[in-house]
Amino acid sequence: MLDPRLLYTFNPALWEDLRGRRPVLVHLLDGYVDAGRVGATLSEHILETCDFDLLVEFDHDQLHDYRSRRPTMVFDTDQWKSAEQFQLAMHRVIAPNGEHFVLLTGLEPDSQWERATAAMTGLAQRLDVRLAVTSHGIPTGVPHTRPSLITEYASRPGLIRTRNPAWVGRIEVPGSFGSYLELQLGRLGIDALGLAVNVPHYLSQAPFFQASIAALHRLNDATGLGLSLGDLPDKAETNLHEIGTEVAASGEVQEVVDQLERQYDQARRTGPVPSADEIGAELERFLAEQNDKDDDR
């Protein structure tokens, strides 16, 4: 393996400022599965509502497959005007309560996973990260008219504080870089917590702000960062109103939502639903859609 330390540059002054703070690491990479854009919304929201500075920048050119995820370019009249710039970086962020933490954002690496993971875990060890947290959405047979449930997973059981919806036992799924990073952090003895918000499968492709709010509440509970909700409640209210209007316009869709409501309410009273087979089928369908999108690019 090539030296992982050659994959990035860092800001020495900010690094020195973080020394001894034992910061939280929040990693929200744009990866394979993020139903409802839960992780993407959280990342954008944190950078919009908190002061931040670039701490570490990775050499994304070594890690990105440009033919798989092509940059958007602007052509105007008779010339190229601009091209989308990709970035994979760690930011030093200052929470509203004054606590400093680290936010890892950007597109997940397409290649050199072992080397990139070694670079990031090495940085986490040198920063003496006390807890790594991530969040994303998973497509599930739940209705938008009920509170968003969170399935928690962690490097050790003591980090899980909520009663998980028991929708699945053991399954095999294609891995994401964020999951691989979390696995390696746990193996190194760094506490790692994942928050998978259950998003209605029929809303997988669009932002679902209610789920992002649920994730932010739990993230604050786990870290004590006290991150502000900002305008997320207003966005969620507008989002739910628009969804309700669309659902009401179709008797067939309304029937599906009614059935999901009955399943949800029954599960909250008696136990697990939907089944592992149903969740597995839904996840496979969602991943297939992502593959189709990648093939079209």
Q: Where are the domains of the chain?
A: 4-296
CA distance 54 to 92: 6
How many beta carbons lie within 10 A of that of residue 279, not counting itself? 22
Q: Which CATH number fits domain 4-296: 3.40.50.10900, 3.20.20.140, 3.60.15.10, 2.130.10.10?
A: 3.40.50.10900
The whole-number pLDDT of residue 253 equals: 86
What percentage of the chain has pLDDT greater than the value 90? 73
Span 19-48, average pLDDT: 95
Query: In the block, which residue shows the tokens 């929708």?
Result: 167
Give this prediction's pTM: 0.86
Q: List, as one string, the DSSP characters of 133-188.
A: EEEEEEEES--TTSPPPEEEEESSGGG--S------SS------HHHHHHHHHHHT
What are the residues facing 134 on neighbouring strands?
194
Q: What is the pLDDT of residues 214-231, one digit of tens each?
A: 999 999 999 999 999 999
Alpha helix (H) ranges present in 2-52? 12-18, 38-49
Q: Is pLDDT of 263 > 90? A: no
Contact 176, 32 (CB under 8 A): yes
Report the relative pairing of strands 100-107 and 131-140 from DSSP bridges: unpaired
3-state helix, strand, coil in the chain (%, to 5): 45, 20, 30
Token couple for 248: 């009401």
Provide the pLDDT confidence category of residue 251 given band limits of 50, 70 and 90. confident
In degrees to the nearest 10, what's the CA dihedral of 150, 156, 157, 163?
A: 0
Contacts of 84 (CB under 8 A, 6+ apart): 71, 72, 73
Residue 105 belongs to what H/E stretch? strand 100-107
What percentage of the chain has pLDDT greater than the value 70? 88
Token couple for 100: 């400093």
Contacts of 21 (CB under 8 A, 6+ apart): 100
Q: Which residue in 22, 27, 92 sits closest to 56, CA to CA?
A: 92
Q: Is pLDDT of 146 > 80? A: yes
